[in-house]
Amino acid sequence: MTLPTPEVTPLNEAYWAGLAAGELRFQHCPHCGHRWLPARRECPACLREGAAWEKAAGTGQVISWVVYHTAYHDAFRDRLPYNVAIVELDEGPRLITNILAPHESIAAGMRVRLELQSDFGVNLPRFAPVGAA
């Protein structure tokens, strides 16, 4: 069973290319300074175009997380139970990810750092607790 694959488009290809090259990128508006994910053509703050991609430091904190005990897609059936979390990068943007830690150890505000993992041939930005081996 293949996992759902992200749809690479002209809009988000810099994001996925960054991950393939080993870095997590977010968009940054040269006009107003706003930073965000996921990819957009227009800045949601000032509505102008021309956003630049910037490399994230890769550190952040857990905002919230859930643990799936049921699979909504067959590809995740043998991964149950698995977690999905919202992480806020230190630069501001938030993203959906998985936390590489025992579910019981995850907490809101927990400091995490980027750990790229190849899944179905795509580098996915996952996060591990800061200080974990």
Residues that bind other proteins (CB under 8 A): 3-7, 12, 36, 38, 63-70, 72-73, 76, 79, 81-82, 84, 86, 94-98, 103, 107-109, 119-120, 122, 124, 126
51 binds Zn ion (CB under 5 A): no
* CB of 43 or CB of 99, closer to Zn ion: 43
SS3 category, 101? coil
- Give the one entry of Zn ion, other proteins, none that residue 97 binds, where binding means its C-beta sits below a cut-off of 5 to 8 angstroms depending on kind: other proteins
Distance between CA atoms of residues 81 and 68, nearest Å = 5
Q: Beta-strand (E) ranges in the chain?
A: 25-28, 35-36, 52-55, 59-68, 82-89, 94-97, 111-119, 122-129
- Residue 91 has, within 13 A of its CA and on its CB side, a CA count of 20
- Binding residue for Zn ion (CB under 5 A) from 31, 41, 77, 79? 31
Among other proteins, Zn ion, none, residue 26 binds (CB under 5-8 Å by kind): none
